[in-house]
Amino acid sequence: MRILITGGTGYIGSHTAVELLNSGYEVLIIDNLSNSNAGVADKIEKITGRKPIFSKTDLCDRSGLKEYFRENKNIDAVIHFAAFKAVGESVQKPLMYYSNNISGMINLLEEMSENKIENIVYSSSCTVYGEADKLPVTEDSPVKKAESPYGFTKQVGEQMLFDASKVSDLHSVILRYFNPTGAHDSALIGELPVGIPNNLVPYITQTAIGEREVLTVNGNDYDTPDGTNIRDYIHVVDLAKAHLSALDRILSRKSSEKAEVFNLGTGKGNSVMEVIKSFEKVSNKKLNYRIGPRREGDVVSIYSETKKANEVLGWKAERDIDNMMLTSWNWQKAISGYKK
Ligand code: WQD
């Protein structure tokens, strides 16, 4: 089976490519390298012993994408990761996000239709839930007004699949990720934020390694046990494995629905302080942090109900927050040439 991964040299895409290759799939990767580098394809080969077929291609370059599909036939399914994903940046540059994430996806879906590729696994996000009224969130929890242009592009992407699946042979599995973190056990691939990290865990590891002075905790006066925000952190390898289960489901036509949604989380929430304590425990380092003001757009708490993915996809997250911190720290040390 030939699977095309868009954004496959990115953080979640590269870990998914590893799991697919290890499971015997043939993997093609397109990426415009706006937030990753081509060397990741070599690392994927080093880990699996099998080479993904990489092409530098931009979903927003319609003619280039048309040519790609002309030259690469017999694709059985697409896993679509390629998108900008920094919540804060999307507030500052909304049109860049709408153009890249929405126009890029329209191009992809139209080319898939023209090439009779009927299966797509879509990288969506718990961001679509906004500040949920009831926790844990299930797939039937209301999708609320997006808190950012980024979140809105994920909602539009989902709606495109719901609508297109109704009037065509397109079958979709929509995966709503909670907070991906951690890195591959080999420490050969992991999260590579460009510039100052938006996300908590890379900021923690860059502070611990000495690349950042101090971690600022964005507020500790929330209505939570220790006053800091709660999130459902999920190991990127667990997340990658869920894509295998999603592919199996869609290729085997097990589902009666043509567009199916799954939450991908652990079902457990951890506060910012709990993440920091976990990191200090596994790294045996005292983290330099201070309490700062709240961050605009943060939801207070969100974590998932994982029953549907467990029972219908037959997938369950296996790794805990300590392993997420340990693999993140090992990865940070590997990329920073850290000597003890
Ligand atoms: C987590 C908590 C911050 C940095 C992410 C992705 C988004 C989506 C959902 C994929 C918050 C706090 C952070 C820092 C801090 N994923 N924090 N100091 O906001 O839940 O969103 O997951 O679609 O794309 O961005 O994750 O890691 O930014 O923040 O205190 O330096 O950590 O305020 O409470 P978030 P995050």
**CA of residue 314 relative to chain centroid, distance:** 20
Cα of 202 from ligand 1 centre, angstroms: 10
> Structural domains in the chain?
2-182+234-265 (3.40.50.720), 200-230+268-310+318-339 (3.90.25.10)
Pocket test for ligand 1, best of 12, 155, 179 (most atoms within 8 A of CB): 179
CB of 303 shorter than 6 A to ligand 1: no
- Distance set, CA 228 to CA 121, 142, 216, 280, 306 (Å): 33, 24, 12, 17, 23
Residue with tokens 């030259």: 71
Which pLDDT belongs to residue 340? 55
Ligand 1 atom at minimum distance from 295 CA: 33
CA 190, CA 18: separation in Å to the nearest integer? 12
CA quadruple 294, 297, 300, 301: dihedral sign: negative
User: What separation in Å is there between the alpha carbon of 267 and the centre of ligand 1?
Assistant: 17
Whether 150 sits among the annotated catalytic residues: the reply is yes
Atom of ligand 1 nearest to the CA of 218: 30
90-123 pLDDT tens trace? 999 999 999 999 999 999 999 999 999 999 999 9
pLDDT digits (tens, 9 = 90+) for 255-277: 989 999 999 999 999 999 999 99
Ligand 1 pocket check for 4: Cβ under 6 Å: no
- Give the pLDDT confidence of 266-321 residue by residue, as tens digits: 999 999 999 999 999 999 999 999 999 999 878 999 999 999 999 999 999 999 99
Per DSSP, helices labelled H in 119-262 are 149-166, 200-209, 236-251
Helix (H, G, I), strand (E, B) or coil at 45: helix
Which of 12, 101, 199, 228 is the pocket-test mutation for ligand 1 (most atoms within 8 Å of CB)? 199
pLDDT of amino acid 339 = 63
Residue 199 CA to ligand 1 center (angstroms) comes to 5
11, 68, 122, 150: which is the annotated catalytic residue?
150
Contact predicate 90/101, CB 8 Å: no
Cβ(127) – ligand 1 distance below 6 Å: yes
Residue 76 alpha carbon to ligand 1 centre in Å = 34
Are 161 and 122 in contact, with CB atoms under 8 Å apart?
yes
Q: Give the predicted TM-score (pTM) of the model.
A: 0.96
Q: DSSP secondary-structure letter at 128?
A: G
**Least-confidence region, from 29-33, 194-198, 203-207:** 194-198
Residue owning the nearest CA to atom 22 of ligand 1: 179
Question: Can you give the pLDDT at residue 338?
Answer: 73
How far the first Cα of the chain sits from its last, in Å, is 44
Does residue 176 have its Cβ closer than 6 Å to ligand 1? no
140-186 pLDDT, tens digit per residue, is 999 998 888 999 999 999 999 999 999 999 999 999 999 999 999 99
Average pLDDT over residues 310-333: 98
What stretches of 227-314 show up as alpha helix (H) in DSSP? Answer: 236-251, 272-283, 307-308
pLDDT tens digits, 65-74? 999 999 999 9
Cβ contact 27:5 at 8 Å: yes
What token pair was written down for 141? 């929890």
3-state secondary structure (DSSP) of residue 71: helix
